[in-house]
Amino acid sequence: MREKAVPTPRAESAGFGAITKGEEVMNRAVLRAGFALGAGLIGVFAGAANAGGVTTQVFRLHDHPDGNINPPPYGLRYDDLFKSVGGPGGSTSFSFEENGASMRLIVSTDTMTNAKTIRIVGKVYGGKDNGASVSFGAGLYKLDFTYTQNVAAHGTGWKVTGTDSANNGSLVSLGNADVAAGTTWSFSDKGDGKGNSFYFKQDDHRLAGHPEFGQGYWVGHGWVMSSDGRGLSSTRDFLFLGKPIPLPTAGLMGAIGLLGLAGVRRRG
């Protein structure tokens, strides 16, 4: 009587580094997903850097240490803001980085016409300044202000060389104990003695004597007013710091594209 033949084990199931059929299918899927992720991220960042003939530079914003009513620190001062909703007047400020605030400045340049825009956008935290913190209106607000006219390169950065009603924005309450969510204030730019309304330059403006001096910060400063022209005698201005957010390099994106390889074991 012949002995029954014993099947020889498949190569995939023996030896260090060998993989099963199921593992091979899964690894191929991971590899495809990794390449797709990398390609998608490359597309996203390429679009941010050069979308439809527009190049962009993005800056993360911080409070300036030399504000006249600091503390608390702030990047936007807008005195008498709450009088329009029945609140108190006086010093009112908004931080660009405290208590959940997060702000960006985006400089966009049309590569065909060289026309430029500057957008200041994100969430700020603030309220009526009481000398050490904020009181009435304390909470988060959405800030979105864009300069679309008269933006020009200037020295180490940019400036807005004249006021225009198209240079405008809004501050919107996200809801707090004193100001209902959705309450909106609209405002536009206001010129200085030279007619300029905003500067964003790497010039250490008002940083002498502070730790940030000489550390490569850009400084944004400019003046705004209520869109209805009220409160012209009140102090209402931007004063903040910025640091560029570098876009990922092609090498980094290539590495991200190879994420799928991490899950693939080579055959032994």
Is the Cα torsion angle 54, 222, 202, 126 positive or negative in sign? negative
Residue 99: inside a domain, yes or no? Answer: yes
User: Residue 132: which pLDDT band, with cuts at 50, 70 and 90?
Assistant: confident
Is residue 35 situated within a structural domain?
no
- 82 within 8 A of 88, measured Cβ to Cβ: yes
> Residue 137 is part of which domain span?
53-244
Runs of H (alpha helix) within 50-182: none
pLDDT digits (tens, 9 = 90+) for 92-112: 999 999 999 999 999 999 999
Give a yes or no: residue 41 inside a domain: no
**Type of residue found at 40:** G
Spatial separation of the C-alpha atoms in residues 49 and 43, rounded to whole Å: 10
Name which of 48-57, 108-117, 161-170 the model is least confident about: 48-57
Q: Is 175 inside any structural domain?
A: yes
| 32 occurs within a structural domain | no
Counted domains in the chain: 1
Residue with tokens 């997903």: 33
Cβ partners under 8 Å of residue 213, min gap 6: 204, 207
Query: Is the Cβ–Cβ distance between 268 and 20 less than 8 Å?
Result: no
For residue 192, is pLDDT > 80? yes
Query: Is residue 42 one of the residues assigned to a domain?
Result: no
On whether residue 46 sits in a domain, the answer given is no
Distance between CA 157 and CA 155 in Å, rounded? Answer: 6
pTM: 0.75
Three-class DSSP category at 179:
coil
Per residue in 218-266, pLDDT tens?
999 999 999 765 656 689 999 999 999 987 654 454 444 444 444 444 4
Answer yes or no: is 73 within a domain: yes
